[in-house]
Structure 1
Amino acid sequence: MAQLNEDLDFEVLAVVSEIPRGKVATYGQIARLIGQPNQARLVGKILSRAEYFGDYPCHRVVNQAGRLVPGWADQAWLLQAEGIPFKKKGYVDMAAAQWED
Structure 2
Amino acid sequence: MTKFQQRCYQILKAEVPKGHVITYGGLAKLIGHPNAYRAVGSAMNKNPFAPEVPCHRVVKANGELGSFADDIGVKIKRSKAEGVEVKNGNIINFQHICIR
Q: TM-score, normalised by structure 1?
A: 0.81
Residue aligning to 1:21: 18
Residue aligning to 2:90: 91
Structure 2 runs not aligned, ≥5 long: none
Percent identical across equivalent pairs?
29
CA displacement 1:18-47 (0-9 Å, x = unmatched)? 210110011000101111111100000011
Q: 1:82 to 1:50 in 2, by over 3 A?
A: same
Shift of 1:55: 3.4
Q: Which has the higher helix share?
A: 1
Residue aligning to 1:9: 5
Q: Which has the higher strand share?
A: 2
The 5 A counterparts of 1:18-97 are: 18=14, 19-51=16-48, 55-70=52-67, 71-86=71-86, 88-92=87-91, 93-97=93-97
Q: How many residues align?
A: 95
Q: Is the 8 A contact 2:21 2:59 kept in 1?
A: yes
Structure 1 runs not aligned, ≥5 long: none
Shift of 1:90: 2.7
Q: 1:77 to 1:97 in 2, by over 3 A?
A: same
Shift of 1:74: 0.9
Supply the RMSD in Å over aligned alpha carbons: 2.1
Q: 1:95 to 1:53 in 2, by over 3 A?
A: closer
Q: TM-score, normalised by structure 2?
A: 0.82
Distance 1:11 1:74 in 2: 24
